[in-house]
């Protein structure tokens, strides 16, 4: 089968601003890959991420330089390293396979059908009062994910809990905690009944997680990309965050999720800030997750059409016109 590949860079405005410990932005830049066999087309979306040494230009160059001769999803894993470039192509190949075969991607994942999954909703990093106001505006959403930033996080967690006494809370420090504040922040999380603490320490400085009490499951994000990273997590983490842009696509992510579950880890399926096209394959992955964080399109000022349907706290499986 002879394949052709097209690439487009797109900018999607964020509703307001999205702020984490590493900075703030008002626009999500994504790369969309379309792979065609001459009759059918498949699409995939990725989000280049500077934390992992990626730029839009470098990811686009990698994709354009890919040899398409004899390419399938397993061969792709040999030709490209994990990361955003491989993710976009891998997901495009999944979509192409579904459209060419008439068999939905969820069936190829090993399920009879996909179900709606409950997703967390992200509150950007801000002052305690600002985050409490945002939590109040979140309304009836049942799971909030708080972006934290290091010093002052105890006050942020307490302020949100006071405003949202019945909501489930998870937190994500994006590597911003340190030896100086981790115990104080952990205590605040315990008092607020936080259910998950995501990547509290820098990935290269997380050894102390072996020696401090885990007041809630601690989840590896920046410390985990692919299946090869699992062995290094033992004794430090209780959960993992699987993201397609880290693992390099749905193919690797499925293997990673299932291997992690076999080792007793809780599994979160997360995302970068992208459109429904980026979330669609992750919704299929999330069928096997304990916690789901796929709210990217909800944080944008607008989404592509067709799009995923978000109904209350649930995200519906992707329609065939979108992906899979």
Q: Assess if residue 323 is contained within a domain.
A: no
Residues 98 and 121 in one domain: no
Q: Assess if residue 133 is contained within a domain.
A: yes
* C-alpha separations of 106 from 283, 286, 320 in Å: 10, 11, 11
User: What pTM was estimated for this model as a whole?
Assistant: 0.96
Q: Assess if residue 110 is contained within a domain.
A: no
Domain boundary among the residues 72, 102, 132 is at: 102
Residues 309 and 244 in one domain: yes
Residues 165 and 283 in one domain: yes
Residues 295 and 214 in one domain: yes
Domain boundary among the residues 79, 102, 125 is at: 102
CA distance 280 to 38: 24
Domain of residue 255 covers: 117-315
Residues 133 and 199 in one domain: yes
Q: Assess if residue 38 is contained within a domain.
A: yes
Q: Assess if residue 60 is contained within a domain.
A: yes
- Residue 168 is predicted with a pLDDT of 96
- Residue 141 is predicted with a pLDDT of 87
Per-residue pLDDT 10s for the chain (324 aa) are 699 999 999 999 999 999 998 889 999 999 999 999 999 999 999 999 999 999 999 999 999 999 999 999 999 999 999 999 999 999 999 999 999 999 999 999 999 999 999 999 999 999 999 999 999 999 878 899 999 999 999 999 999 999 999 999 999 999 999 999 999 999 999 999 999 999 999 999 999 999 999 999 999 999 999 999 999 999 999 999 999 999 999 999 999 999 999 999 999 999 999 999 999 999 999 999 999 999 999 999 999 999 999 999 999 999 999 999
Residues 184 and 260 in one domain: yes
Q: Assess if residue 107 is contained within a domain.
A: no
CA distance 180 to 220: 20
Residues 210 and 263 in one domain: yes
Strand residues in the chain grouped as ranges (E): 4-20, 23-36, 41-46, 117-118, 121-123, 143-147, 168-172, 197-198, 218-220, 239-242, 266-269, 291-292, 310-311, 314-315
Residues 225 and 284 in one domain: yes
* C-alpha separations of 115 from 143, 284, 303 in Å: 18, 9, 22
Q: Assess if residue 220 is contained within a domain.
A: yes
CB atoms within 10 A of CB 223: 22
Residues 190 and 285 in one domain: yes
Residues 135 and 250 in one domain: yes
Catalytic residue set: 147, 243
Q: Assess if residue 300 is contained within a domain.
A: yes
Residues 134 and 188 in one domain: yes
- Residue 140 is predicted with a pLDDT of 78
Domain CATH number, residue 145: 3.20.20.120
CB atoms within 10 A of CB 228: 11
- Residue 173 is predicted with a pLDDT of 97
- Residue 36 is predicted with a pLDDT of 98
- Residue 128 is predicted with a pLDDT of 98
* Element (DSSP H or E) covering residue 126: none
Residues 147 and 53 in one domain: no
Please state the domain count of the chain.
2
Domain boundary among the residues 102, 134, 157 is at: 102
* C-alpha separations of 244 from 209, 216, 248, 286 in Å: 25, 25, 6, 11
Q: Which two tokens stand for residue 265?
A: 């880890």
Domain CATH number, residue 71: 3.30.390.10
């Amino acid at each position: 089968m002879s394949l052709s590949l097209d690439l487009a860079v797109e900018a999607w405005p964020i509703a307001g601003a999205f702020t984490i410990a590493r900075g703030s932005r008002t626009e999500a830049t994504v790369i969309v890959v379309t792979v065609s066999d001459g009759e059918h087309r498949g699409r995939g979306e990725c989000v280049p991420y500077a934390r992992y040494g990626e730029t839009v230009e470098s990811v686009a160059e990698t994709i354009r330089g890919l040899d398409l001769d004899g390419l399938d999803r397993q061969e792709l894993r040999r030709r490209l390293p994990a990361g955003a470039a491989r993710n976009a192509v891998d997901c495009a190949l999944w979509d192409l396979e579904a459209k060419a075969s008439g068999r939905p991607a969820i069936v190829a994942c090993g399920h009879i059908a996909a179900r709606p999954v409950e997703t967390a909703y992200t509150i950007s990093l801000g002052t305690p009062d600002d985050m409490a106001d945002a939590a109040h505006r979140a309304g009836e959403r049942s799971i909030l994910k708080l972006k934290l930033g290091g010093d002052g996080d105890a006050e942020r967690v307490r302020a949100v809990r006071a405003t949202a006494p019945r909501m489930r809370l998870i937190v994500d420090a994006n590597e911003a905690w340190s030896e100086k504040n981790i115990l104080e922040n952990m205590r605040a999380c315990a008092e607020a009944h936080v259910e998950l603490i995501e990547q509290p320490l820098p990935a290269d400085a997380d050894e102390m997680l072996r020696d401090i009490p885990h007041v809630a499951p601690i989840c590896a994000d920046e410390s985990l990309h692919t299946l090869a990273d699992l062995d290094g997590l033992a004794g430090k983490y209780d959960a993992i965050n699987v993201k397609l842009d880290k693992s390099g696509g749905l193919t690797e992510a499925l293997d990673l999720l299932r291997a992690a579950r076999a080792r007793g880890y809780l599994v979160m399926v997360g995302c970068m800030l992208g459109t429904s096209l980026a979330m669609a394959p992750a919704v299929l992955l999330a069928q096997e997750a304990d916690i789901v964080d796929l709210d990217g399109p909800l944080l944008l000022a607008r989404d592509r059409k067709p799009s995923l349907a978000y109904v209350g706290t649930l995200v519906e499986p992707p329609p065939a016109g979108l992906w899979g």
